[in-house]
Amino acid sequence: MWSCDGQTTITRLLDEAVARWPDRASFDCLGETATYAQIDRRSNQIAHGLASLGISRGDTVSTMLDNSLDGILLLYAILKLGAVSAPINTAFRGEFLRHQLADTAARVIVADEDYLDRILSIADRLPDAGTLVHRGLAPAMPTSLSLLDFEQLRAGRDKALDVDIQPGDLAMLIYTSGTTGPSKGCMIPHNYICNIGRQNAYGYDLSESDVLWTSLPFFHINAINNIVAAAPLSGARVAMAKRFSLSGFWPDVERTGATVVSLIGSMIALIANAPDNESSKRCFGQVRVAKGSPFPESLKAIWRDRFGVPSAGAPGYGMTEMTMITMNKVSAASPPGTSGRRFADYDVRILDDSGCECPPGIAGEIVARPLRPNLMFKGYWRRPEATLAAFSELWFHTGDIGSIDAQGYFTFVDRKKDYLRRGGENISSFEMETAFREHPEIRTSPCTQSSRN
């Protein structure tokens, strides 16, 4: 049944957190701490700084940043203006980087000093870019872009901005890997991210006593959810590492007092199979949830027995366009290999190739639609045809294969899409081929060209 309950915004969640926990140290970013009141005031300053560059409602701001407190402040500042944050994968360079930066149409780009040369090397192919805000040393490479030190953004007043933000307003562009074409920006509204926070608070039984640790970057919706939604909704504190370090994982968990850790891909097995160290021994039983995917039963057993982690894995299934559409509490027993049941926010079905619903236990394509407004992406940025292609009979088609048994438990089976995956990241095979073709020593044979047309 359609309902409009629970609509809110990221900025409203911050306001509520400031009212409830104004002076509690709720953020630990690389050892630098901040309260919600400090986050609020400092992000106001940066918002006024961005406004002086002409950023206002609906404008995109592209970022290429490592994890830091400044990154959190900048995100809030962008959202307080009613603008849209477009974080870019910090591993990108060349055509991968050019495509996404150009696609965002951002006039202002904010980047750490380590990534400036990559951006400047393609600046002449970024038609909308006008200002590059550098965090750290200014680039030595000459450029036609206007350069601004990040510290100058802090010169603004810390007075709150008078901008009316609505739950359906765009908050972010999160790029997904392309398959038959370039990667696409998912248009993510405020309430969508807030709802993921509600789901996480429910699924992981989060409370004020929890510390949410992540090394996942700002271009991951997982990290963004922890920072701006799950934490302010539950009262849990946030601890961030600059990036993942196998040797530094347990020492940082020990230092921050982390109770819930967010991991993806190869991180899970690397930690499970690494030698013990003194920090890992002292932290036995400290972490109550290791959330992430994939967590096969063999790895769950290692995390439980070696590290005293009672709950390991992701209790549901979802994707950037629509998260999470199946879910269970991590404290609830579920059959091995399953990923929860249909979540109350969504209508989820399994369809065969004819569009008919599959019987229980029979695999087919996973399709879904929301039961409340602003619970999924609003389409692919500047790609109406791709948005239309993802929907059929008013259902969003995930391109994934799964099944739902007679007890309602969901099992992921496979992907229909042509894609690559490395270290927990989806990689566009189309963009890989495009990058290869740009190399002067690579030629495409006529027969190959005709076979792809």
Task: Say how far apart CA 43 and CA 379 lie, in whole Å.
Answer: 28
pLDDT of residue 426 exceeding 90: no
Handedness of CA 36, 40, 45, 46 (dihedral sign): positive
Q: Dihedral through CA 34, CA 36, CA 39, CA 43, nearest 10?
A: 180
Instruction: Please name the amino acid found at residue 330.
Output: V
Domain 321-418: state its class: mainly beta
Task: Say how far apart CA 414 and CA 154 lie, in whole Å.
Answer: 47
212: nearest Cα among 261, 156, 153: 261
pLDDT at 145: 97
**pLDDT grade for 164, boundaries at 50, 70 and 90:** very high
Q: How many Cα neighbours within 13 Å face the side chain of 303?
A: 27
* Alpha helical stretches, state H, 230-323: 231-234, 249-256, 266-273, 278-282, 297-307
Task: Say how far apart CA 226 and CA 232 lie, in whole Å.
Answer: 9
Q: Considering only CA atoms, give the Rg of the chain.
A: 22
365: nearest Cα among 427, 315, 414: 414
Model confidence pLDDT, tens digit, residues 6-35: 899 999 999 999 999 999 999 999 999 999
More confident: 439 or 239: 239
Instruction: Please name the amino acid found at residue 106.
Output: A
**pLDDT grade for 361, boundaries at 50, 70 and 90:** very high
Q: Are 260 and 239 in contact (CB under 8 A)?
A: no
Residue 321, helix vs strand vs coil: coil
Backbone φ and ψ for 234, nearest 5 degrees, come out as -100, -20
pLDDT at 435: 55
Q: How many CB atoms lie within 10 A of CB 126?
A: 22
Hey, what are 404's tokens?
Answer: 């739902």
Q: Are 374 and 387 in contact (CB under 8 A)?
A: no
Angle at 201 between CA 185 and CA 327, to 5 degrees: 70
Hey, what are 79's tokens?
Answer: 């959202």
pLDDT at 315: 78
**pLDDT grade for 195, boundaries at 50, 70 and 90:** very high
41: nearest Cα among 14, 66, 3: 14
**pLDDT grade for 446, boundaries at 50, 70 and 90:** very low
Q: Which of 44-53, 178-187, 268-277, 442-451 is predicted least confidently? A: 442-451
Residue 110, helix vs strand vs coil: strand
Model confidence pLDDT, tens digit, residues 86-128: 999 999 999 999 999 999 999 999 999 999 999 999 999 999 9
Residues 6+ apart with CB under 8 A from 30: 67, 68, 69, 240, 241, 242
Model confidence pLDDT, tens digit, residues 303-336: 999 999 999 988 789 999 998 999 988 888 888 8
92: nearest Cα among 74, 113, 115: 115
pLDDT of residue 451 exceeding 80: no
Task: Break the chain into its structural domains and give their ranges.
Answer: 321-418
Q: Which pTM does this prediction carry?
A: 0.90
